[in-house]
Chains A and B, each alone.
Chain A
Amino acid sequence: MRNASDPTSDSTSDPTSDSTSDPTSDPTVRTDAGSRGRAVLLAKGIGLLVLAAAVLSFPSLAPDAFILSVGVVIMSYAVLATSWNFVGGFTGYISLGHAAYSGLGAYATALLVIHTSLNPWVAMLLGGLLVAALAVPIGIASLRVRGASFVIVSIAMVLILLLVFQSWGEVTGGSNGLRVPRPFDESVLRPEQHERFFYLHVALLAVALLTWWAIDRSRFGTGLKAIREDEDKAQSLGVPTFNYKLVAFIVSAFFTALGGGMYALWFGFLDPIFQFSILVGSYMVLMSLLGGIRSLFGPLLGAVIVGYAVEFFKNQYGDTQFHLVAMGLLLGIVVLFMPDGIIPALSSLINRFSPQAASIREVSAGELAEQRRAAASEGKDLDATEAEPTDSLPEGAKR
Chain B
Amino acid sequence: MASDTPPSTEFLLELTDIQAGYGRAALVLRGLTVQVPPATVVCLVGPNGAGKSTVLKVASGMLTPRSGTIRVAGKDVTKNSPQQMLTAGLSHVLQGHSVFKEMTVSENVLLGAYSVKDKSVVSDRVDFVKSLFPVVADRWNALAGALSGGQQKQVEFARSLMVSPQVVLLDEPSMGLDPKATGTVFEQVVRMRDAGTAVLLVEQNARRALETADLGCVLDLGRVHIQGPADELLRDPQLAELYLGGRPATTPTH
Binding site for B on A (CB under 8 A): 2, 4-7, 14-17, 20, 22-26, 29, 33, 219, 222-223, 225-226, 228-230, 233-239, 294, 357, 360-365, 368-369, 388-391, 393-394, 396-399
Contact sample, A vs B, 14 pairs, CB 8 Å cutoff: A24-B127, A25-B138, A234-B111, A236-B82, A237-B111, A238-B83, A357-B142, A361-B148, A362-B148, A365-B191, A393-B131, A394-B127, A394-B195, A399-B3
Q: Which residue of B lies closest to A239 (CB)?
A: B114
**Interface pair A24/B183, CB less than 8 Å apart:** no
- Shortest C-beta distance, B37 to chain A (Å), equals 17
Which of B66-74, B101-109, B206-214 binds A? B101-109
**Interface pair A223/B111, CB less than 8 Å apart:** yes
- Shortest C-beta distance, A188 to chain B (Å), equals 47
Q: How many A-B residue pairs have CB under 8 A?
A: 154
Restricting to B69-92, which residues have a CB under 8 Å from any CB of A? 82-83, 86-87, 92
**Interface pair A22/B92, CB less than 8 Å apart:** no
Q: Which residue of A lies closest to B4 (CB)?
A: A399
Chain B residues lying within 8 Å of A399, measured Cβ to Cβ, are: 2-3, 196
**Interface pair B187/A25, CB less than 8 Å apart:** no
**Interface pair B180/A25, CB less than 8 Å apart:** no
**Interface pair A16/B146, CB less than 8 Å apart:** no
**Interface pair A365/B131, CB less than 8 Å apart:** no
Contact partner of B137 among A4, A33, A237, A390, CB < 8 A?
A390
Restricting to B109-134, which residues have a CB under 8 Å from any CB of A? 110-112, 114-115, 124, 126-128, 130-134
**Interface pair B128/A394, CB less than 8 Å apart:** yes
User: Contacts A236-B92, A238-B114, A368-B135 given: A222-B142 contact, CB under 8 Å?
Assistant: no
User: Contacts A393-B191, A397-B196 given: A239-B134 contact, CB under 8 Å?
Assistant: no
- Shortest C-beta distance, B153 to chain A (Å), equals 11
**Interface pair B137/A24, CB less than 8 Å apart:** yes
Q: Which 6 A-B pairs have the closest CB atoms?
A: A238-B115, A394-B131, A397-B195, A16-B106, A238-B114, A368-B134
- CA separation between A48 and B83, bound complex, in Å? 42
**Interface pair A4/B143, CB less than 8 Å apart:** yes
**Interface pair B130/A24, CB less than 8 Å apart:** yes
Q: Which residue of A lies closest to B194 (CB)?
A: A393
**Interface pair B101/A14, CB less than 8 Å apart:** no
**Interface pair A4/B191, CB less than 8 Å apart:** no
- Shortest C-beta distance, B131 to chain A (Å), equals 4
Chain B binding surface SS class = helix
Q: Which residue of B lies closest to A20 (CB)?
A: B106
Task: Give the size range of B's interface with the partner.
Answer: 35 or more
**Interface pair B103/A222, CB less than 8 Å apart:** yes
**Interface pair A398/B196, CB less than 8 Å apart:** yes
Contact partner of A229 among B102, B115, B137, B187, CB < 8 A?
B102
- CA separation between A236 and B100, bound complex, in Å? 13
Chain A residues lying within 8 Å of B163, measured Cβ to Cβ, are: 238
- CA separation between A303 and B2, bound complex, in Å? 51
Restricting to B195-221, which residues have a CB under 8 Å from any CB of A? 195-196
Chain B residues lying within 8 Å of A364, measured Cβ to Cβ, are: 180, 183-184, 187
- CA separation between A369 and B82, bound complex, in Å? 37
Decide if B238 is an interface residue (CB 8 Å cutoff): no
1/0 contact string of B149-190 vs chain A (CB within 8 Å): 011000000010001000000000000001011011001100
User: Contacts A239-B114, A399-B2 given: A226-B137 contact, CB under 8 Å?
Assistant: no
**Interface pair B107/A225, CB less than 8 Å apart:** yes
Chain B residues lying within 8 Å of A363, measured Cβ to Cβ, are: 135, 151
- CA separation between A391 and B159, bound complex, in Å? 20
Chain B residues lying within 8 Å of A23, measured Cβ to Cβ, are: 127
- Shortest C-beta distance, A2 to chain B (Å), equals 8
Chain A residues lying within 8 Å of B131, measured Cβ to Cβ, are: 24, 388-390, 393-394, 396-397
- Shortest C-beta distance, A130 to chain B (Å), equals 33
Chain A residues lying within 8 Å of B142, measured Cβ to Cβ, are: 7, 357
Decide if B9 is an interface residue (CB 8 Å cutoff): no
